[in-house]
Amino acid sequence: MTALDTIKEMDRATVLHPFTHAKDFAAGVGDCYVVETGSGVRIRGADGSQLIDGFGGLYCVNVGYGRSEVAEAISEQVHKLAYFHSYAGHTTEALATLSDRLVKMAPGRMSKVFYGLSGSDANETQAKLVWYYNNLRGKPKKKKILSRERGYHGCSVISGSMTGMSFYHDYMDLPLPIVRHAGVPHHYWGAHKGESEEAFSKRRAAELDAQIEAEGPDTVGAFIAEPVLGTGGLTPPSAGYWDAIQPVLKKHDVLLIADEVICGFGRIGTPFGSHRFNIEPDLVTCAKGLTSAYVPMSAAIIGERVWEVVRDGADKVGAFSHGYTYSGHPLGAAAANVCLDIVEREDLAGNAERVGGYLLEQLRKAVGDYELVGEVRGIGMLAAVEFVADRQAKRRFDPALKVGARLSAEARRRGLITRAMPHGDILGFAPPLVLTPGDADEIVAIVKASVDTVVDQLTRENAL
Ligand code: PMP
């Protein structure tokens, strides 16, 4: 048995992997891929294979793999001070610097930052802040959180409830009844025949208004949404959506939580996704691109409206009783500062716009006219190709055919990591923001070859 086989055997025997068939994997079925190194937009396996990472890990390695500058900043911080907590007013230079930066660069009128380690825990914090805020304001009934179908906000108890996908709930006793889901602004699937994007957006806003009225506005505390729907299908909102829904939230005194975990730090061409759509959130959730995943760190950024109530409530409740051992970890702060430097210095938001735009255009040219391609969509460095059985009738493939999974497996065989997204047969792309046009050409060539192969397979199976 080789050393690599031993690693795989240990792993299969001991690790419960996310999104992996637990029984099959433990029994040796399916791949166990040992990742060894990464550089730029590529990773290398312990078996010597090299893959272009068209998904930036999980939309998070924005500055690319293997950046010495980040490694050095982390190492310097370890030598100086690897850890101290941020309870009771303790801080580090790295943390104070980062917080000043985040408050200044975030959308809306932001005031404070609370740190965690994952997007899920940051959204858990946001939910607690909404409840805390309304308790302090003497509105103890205003607690429901409205999220969206196909929205993704994490997989812990509240954040998993906010996530609008049933497979995150099934067998796990979620969602909690305090969370409700609204419709998404995906024009391709949601619009009536002949309905314009603007009219569709207005309808979604009217539906949200009606939903809040039906729940009782005095029971609805917050609305949470990603500026661009991520895991639910990499779907930019229909035109005018954000302009239409924000007045509805204002009218009902409902806080807006912008979940910027994917969109933040340049991915869609602006510092935050909210900037692109003129979103003025009350609370902002960040993770992923904050540290480009070099160190786990998340941030719940708190706007003035909520902060003022938290501040004034302190006389009544005493200390703010919420915090993790690792809140404001110095290594996360050091990594975040250097990653934000890189994003600014290398204009990675601009690169996301330019090279992401090129990737989208080339994907459209390469596969947009195929009979089985329903929609090619994207924004900044996010793109998706959605496959359908019948373009005219907009009919999805039989899920048993696993068209999306086959396509991503075929691309993988050819050296490209893409993600088969849930909710249909969708191939998703979210490469590191340092992608070059040459890398984009490589991705598109592999996608086209993979689609051709799967079309051949489906034709042979009489499935087309
Ligand atoms: N919000 C959004 C928009 C996300 O995309 C994710 C992760 N994909 C999360 C929250 C949860 O983040 P984490 O996996 O770090 O808990």
Is 0.90 surpassed by the pTM of this model? yes
CA of 261 to the centre of ligand 1 (A): 6
Residues with CB under 6 A from ligand 1: 58, 118-120, 123, 152-154, 226, 230-231, 259, 261-262, 287
Mean pLDDT of 366-374: 97
103 CA to centre of own chain: 21
Pocket test for ligand 1, best of 19, 58, 150, 152 (most atoms within 8 A of CB): 152
Instruction: Check residue 377 and give its pLDDT.
Output: 98
With CA atoms as reference, report the closest residue to 387 among 430, 429, 424, 428: 424
Mean pLDDT of 122-145: 98
CA of 227 to the centre of ligand 1 (A): 13
Q: Write out the two tokens for 310.
A: 């938290």
CA of 168 to the centre of ligand 1 (A): 13
pLDDT at 291 over 90: yes
Instruction: Check residue 258 and give its pLDDT.
Output: 98
- CATH code of 69-345, in short, is 3.40.640.10
Q: Mean pLDDT, the chain, as a whole number?
A: 97
Instruction: Check residue 118 and give its pLDDT.
Output: 98
Query: What band does 463 get if pLDDT is binned at 50, 70 and 90?
Result: confident
CA of 251 to the centre of ligand 1 (A): 29
Q: For the chain, how far is it from start to end, CA to CA, in angstroms?
A: 44
Instruction: Check residue 304 and give its pLDDT.
Output: 98
Mean pLDDT of 253-280: 98
CA of 201 to the centre of ligand 1 (A): 25
- Give per-residue pLDDT as tens, 11-44: 999 999 999 999 999 999 999 999 999 999 999 9
- SS3 labels along the chain: CCHHHHHHHHHHHHCCCCCCCHHHHHCCCCCCCCEEEEEECEEEECCCCEEEECCHHHHCCCCCECCHHHHHHHHHHHHHHCCCCCHHHCCCHHHHHHHHHHHHHCCCCEEEEEEECCHHHHHHHHHHHHHHHHHHCCCCCCCEEEEECCCCCCCCHHHHHHCCCHHHCCCCCCCCCCEEEECCCCHHHHCCCCCCHHHHHHHHHHHHHHHHHHHCHHHEEEEEECCCECCCCCECCCCCHHHHHHHHHHHCCCEEEEECCCCCCCCCCCCCHHHHHCCCCCEEEECHHHCCCCCCCEEEEEEHHHHHHHHHHHHHHCCCCCCCCCCCCHHHHHHHHHHHHHHHHCCHHHHHHHHHHHHHHHHHHHHCCCCCEEEEEEECCEEEEEECCECCCCECCCHHHCHHHHHHHHHHHCCEECEEECCCEEEEECCCCCCCHHHHHHHHHHHHHHHHHHHHHHHHCCCC
Position in ligand 1 atom list of the atom nearest CA 121 = 16
Q: In terms of CATH, what superfamily is 33-63+347-460?
A: Aspartate Aminotransferase, domain 1 (3.90.1150.10)
Q: Write out the two tokens for 418.
A: 């893409």
Mean pLDDT of 272-276: 98
- Going from N- to C-terminal start, the domains of the chain cover 33-63+347-460, 69-345
Instruction: Check residue 60 and give its pLDDT.
Output: 98
CA of 199 to the centre of ligand 1 (A): 30
Q: Quick check: bond before 175 cis, omega within 30?
A: yes
- ipTM above 0.95 for this complex: yes
Position in ligand 1 atom list of the atom nearest CA 260 = 3
pLDDT at 212 over 90: yes
Mean pLDDT of 2-7: 97
Instruction: Check residue 112 and give its pLDDT.
Output: 98
Instruction: Check residue 399 and give its pLDDT.
Output: 95
Query: What band does 423 get if pLDDT is binned at 50, 70 and 90?
Result: confident
- Give per-residue pLDDT as tens, 302-333: 999 999 999 999 999 999 999 999 999 999 99
Pocket test for ligand 1, best of 117, 150, 224, 261 (most atoms within 8 A of CB): 261
Instruction: Check residue 464 and give its pLDDT.
Output: 82
